[in-house]
Structure 1
């Protein structure tokens, strides 16, 4: 499991566009009100709680709340490889990641893969980012994700997203290439 590249190596080509919704939803005709990706990323980075959806081997969905961090255009989370969601993504890495709000909506589709982070690189940055959970008793050290198994660290690489903060006026679909 290689450590992901430095921030300058992870370049997201993000395209914003109007989503395809059925007539009657009131979507604007112009792209002038689309959300900028950096505003959506700010919501992802600031969030405390996320909902992760994976698919069970029999095809049924599985949804679980997760703690994690949005860093360098990716979502990092950790946990035991024995959990249902981790066993699911080992078979089918397709996932969705949602924020809690039903009015400030961010839905990210992507793939979840096992990874690792050395303490003197990504691990230190992850440890700082996970500091948002320190008051809840979770403060992993920079070396928490080093070693062969990566300490259960996983990363979601986005493939597309849907977001709105004032539906339907700013409903925006993002594609990542």
Structure 2
């Protein structure tokens, strides 16, 4: 299980009475979200952002994408990504940002467990079969990726706060 090695709150970006958001709260908010935004970098350096679904398992976010998709091509060129989720409300809620490095998942047992996690979270419409080192769900092969966190942020909005979590091996 990935857990932060350091947690701190930046008083410049919060209310005076704000305290750090516990990692367990942030992790649960991230795991429970239904929609996420993945930020990658195109090979020419331009940013790319897309919405997608994700599951949180064993302390890491997991995503999937067809190898021909822009996000998969970007990951192949630069595995550093940012995955975010939150609420559009200005007051109340918690926005979460996870920065990390992507690794492709190909182990059949891990893929089966992840396929079950996707279906449990999102329902039968998101059933995947494990095939050729990835997922097949009717739209062709999708690669499955694990995002190992290096840094994460929780942006509280009642009270306003910014909590930063740093993970072992993270360079940010």
Q: TM-score, normalised by structure 2?
A: 0.79
Instruction: Give secondary structure in 1 for the equivalent of 2:67.
Output: coil
From 57, 64, 69, the equivalent of 2:55 is 69
C-alpha change, 1:81 and 1:166, in structure 2 (3 Å) is same
The alignment status of 1:115 with 2:105, answered yes or no, reads: yes
User: Residue 165 of structure 2 aligns with which residue?
Assistant: 174
Query: Is the 2:39–2:81 Cα contact (8 Å) retained in structure 1?
Result: yes
Whole-Å Cα distance in 2 between the matches of residues 159 and 102 of structure 1? 25
In proportion to residue count, which structure has more strand? 2
Question: Where do 1:96-111 residues align within 5 Å?
Answer: 96-103=82-89, 104-111=94-101
C-alpha change, 1:80 and 1:168, in structure 2 (3 Å) is same
Unaligned runs of 5+ in 2: 136-142
Instruction: Give secondary structure in 2 for the equivalent of 1:35.
Output: coil
Name the count of aligned residue pairs.
156
User: Residue 3 of structure 1 aligns with which residue?
Assistant: none
Instruction: Give secondary structure in 1 for the equivalent of 2:66.
Output: coil
Shift of residue 77, structure 1, vs aligned partner: 1.3
Instruction: Give secondary structure in 2 for the equivalent of 1:86.
Output: helix
User: Residue 140 of structure 1 aligns with which residue?
Assistant: 128
User: Residue 144 of structure 2 aligns with which residue?
Assistant: 153
Shift of residue 27, structure 1, vs aligned partner: 4.8
Q: Deviations over 1:34-88 (max 9, x none)?
A: 0111111101111111100000111110001111101111111112111101101
Question: Where do 1:1-150 residues align within 5 Å?
Answer: 10-19=1-10, 21=12, 25-28=13-16, 33-103=19-89, 104-119=94-109, 122-131=110-119, 132-134=121-123, 137-141=125-129, 144=130, 147=132, 149-150=133-134
From 152, 156, 164, the equivalent of 2:155 is 164
Shift of residue 26, structure 1, vs aligned partner: 4.3
Whole-Å Cα distance in 1 between the matches of residues 164 and 2 of structure 2? 19
Whole-Å Cα distance in 2 between the matches of residues 156 and 11 of structure 1? 11
